[in-house]
Amino acid sequence: MNFLCLDFEGVLIPEIWQYVAKETNSKELMLTTQDLKDYDELMSLRMKVVNEKNIKLSDIQEIVRTMEPFDGAEEFLGWARQNFQVSIVSDTFYELAWPLVEKLNFPTIICHHLEIKNDQIVSYSLRQNNNKQKVVEALSNLKYKVLAAGDSYNDINMLQTADKGIFFQAPQHIKDEFPNLLTADNHEDLKAHLLEYT
């Protein structure tokens, strides 16, 4: 059976930090990996904002609990799990994403950890550098054919390393930079791209 690696935010759920930005009136938190290519730069900005505004982990978790997966995401994920070995491979953090993982019936997710002290986010710990690509490489080394879908700059290495990489609702400026990758505008489009591998 083939393996499917899915980004989380932008493919199955909305961007967590953008919800936080709206709820805390923090415009800088609207930036995502669709805007900045350097993930460390993006996370350093986020750490700066949450500390300056005294936004606690519990504040963010409360916001995340109000979020819902994209329309059609649960149905798509159910179909995918019937036809592939599926793992979410994300640059989110377990401490933030878990309420939404629960709403999708606990799919496997490989992501990072936040470092917390007295409810304050003090730093973050990456599982490994370039984690998404390395997950695909590891699965390929196990003789799986690997398919992948994502929407942002931090997905490019994963998508280009996979046997088939698909942009999901990626912004036009990213699609223009990488015209070799397939595109899907919704979960039905994504399913159609994947059908030949079922």
CB 39 within 8 A of CB 150: no
Q: Can 62 be counted among the known catalytic residues? A: no
Task: Write the single-letter amino acid at 62.
Answer: E
Q: Can 7 be counted among the known catalytic residues? A: yes
Strand partners, 115: 123
SS3 21: helix
Q: Choosing from 9, 91, 95, 155, which is the catalytic residue?
A: 9
Q: Choosing from 7, 15, 91, 151, which is the catalytic residue?
A: 7
- 110's CB contacts (< 8 A; 6+ apart) are 87, 88, 89, 90, 127, 131, 135
Torsion, CA 148, CA 170, CA 191, CA 19, rounded to 10: 100
Half-sphere exposure of 197 (CA within 13 A, CB side): 20
Distance CA(90)–CA(88), nearest Å, equals 6
**Known catalytic residues?**
7, 9
